[in-house]
Structures are given as structure tokens and as C-alpha cells.
Amino acid sequence: MSTTWKPKGFIAIILGVLLQPFVFLYVNKARLFIAYFVLMVICYLFDIRIQANAEESDWYQGIYFTSLFILICPIHAFWVTQHYNASQKRAWFARWWVTLLLFTTIYTCLTLVRIFFFEFFTIPASSMAPTLEKGSQVIVSKLGYGNYQYLGQQVLKSEMTAEVSRGDIVVFQYPQNPQSIWMKRVIGLAGDRVVYRNKTLYIKKACKQPTDNCPDYSVIEQSLVSQDGNGLKILHEVNEDSSYQILVNDNHMDLISHYFSQVGSRHGEWEIPQGHYFVMGDSRDNSLDSRYWGFLPEDNLIGKVIISW
């Protein structure tokens, strides 16, 4: 290792603008790289949070604090080059091409993780309240769903191998506009018959046995959690092995006339075809879901919510 090497200021400025925290590897300051990288991740999560709840009138609407690193990192890195102690030991990563290679490798790995394994999503509306409020962040597992996308572009399409259960919260391409990404809860699977009437769900599960041996409709169990004086009630609902909370408004009439009409079934009743799911929002009177636009095709599924905050 050379003991007389000194990082060049103009290279530090270029790398600082393009690679932000990674420039501190080039200027031989690993601790500064770690500190800036952690700080940038925190700012990134903070940006997601505030932008999800930003109104058009808010001063910070459209302002991302992570963009400050494009200015701060090159300035600080240039200052380091001007006060650099050339007698210190030069680490193996303190070369512009190694810094660029490390950035490319790490960015590629993170991109592959986002495409094929896990991705962050922000809840844009309140249709999943009270489970997921507007602005909440979630991590979605994409492995096995076969619909691999990145920044809205299809990367790979393969056969779905993941198992979907009643009660799962899934992310999917809205059937009537595949460019729009939606999030709802799975209520029924292929072959199920679903009835929604008077704020109550009834399900007749798919059965391959002779009709006489198949179970009839069963009501989805609900219990009161809380209510206010305006007719809003939070209910605890149990669908198979999944339990969760829903929000209903007793003062809001079911819009049965607007329901999706299936040939051979009455309004408010549906039989789910093969390769499809029936999904609903947890805010039952504030959700545009399968009741209105029909069944969710399996090919439109992107993944399942596994963590939320």
C-alpha cells in the first residue's frame, strides 16, 4: 500500500454527485461512508413517510431531503481531499474504480431484491383502514408470485407458485388499469361463493365432493371492537385462520345497484372462477373492490404484505 497517495478533488466531486455516500470510500473514510449511508436511508424512509401524507398546500410537498446528499456529499468529500493526510495507509477500496464497482454491485443486488424478493410500498388511500392507514408503509413479499416488475416495467413473468390464503393482504395490478398498483384483502378463493349483504359476509367454500357432502354458506364471524356516535364501527373479523379489523359505517347504505353483476347470480352474490380471487378493502364503505369491478386475475398479483408500520 502506498503511503504518499492523496485523493483528487475533482474525482471526489464527480463521485460525490453521482454516488453520494460511496464517495467516502474513495477518499479513504470508511466511517464517514457508513455514517452517511445510514443517514441517507433514514432520510429516504422519512421522505416516503411525509410525501405519503403531503397535501398540495403543504410547503414540503414534492421536496425530498435525500436530494440534499447530492450537494452535501461532494462538498464534504472535496473538503476531505484538501485536508487529507497523505501519510495514512490507503485502504483497498480507496480507488475510484473500486468505489464505482462497489456501488454498482450493491445497487444491482438491491435492485434484484426489489424485483424478485421484497419491495416497499406506501398506502396511498384509506380503503384498508383501520388495518393500514393512508401513508402507512409495508414490505411486500414477491417471491413465487411470478409477476416481477421494477418501477412499473415488467421484468419477468413466470408461473405462480406462491399459495394465497383467505385473509391475506395482496398487492396487485388493478385489472381495469394494470399500470395502477392496488392493495386489498383476499376474501374468497377460486370456486368459493361470496355473498355481501347488510355489512356481513357469507362464504360457501369451494368443494370437490358431491354436493350433498359440501358445507353450506357460513357467516364470517364479526365482533364489535369500538364505535362512535356517527355510525362508524370497528369490527374484529375472522376469515378461516386469519383475523383482522374492519371499518363499517352504519349510516352508509350498501351500494348494491353499483355492484358487479355476474351472469347467473343475484346482485351481491358471486361465484369466483378458476384463476381468480375476490378481494375487498377493510374500510368496507370506502373501498372500490371486487364488489364493483369484479374478480382479481391470478396473473395480476404482485405479492403479499408481510410487514407494515
Catalytic residues: 127, 184
**How many helices (H) does the chain have, and how many strands (E)?**
6, 16
The sheet with strand 218-219 has its strands ordered as 218-219, 200-204, 193-197, 269-271
User: How far, in Å, CA of 157 to CA of 146, rounded?
Assistant: 5
Written as one letter, the residue type at 41 is V
User: How far, in Å, CA of 267 to CA of 261, rounded?
Assistant: 6
Residue 71, H or E segment:
helix 69-82
3-state DSSP assignment of residue 280: strand
User: How far, in Å, CA of 281 to CA of 122, rounded?
Assistant: 16
φ, ψ dihedrals at 119, nearest 5°:
-145, 150
Written as one string, the DSSP assignment of 139-170 is EEE-TTS-EEEETTEEEEE--------TT-EE
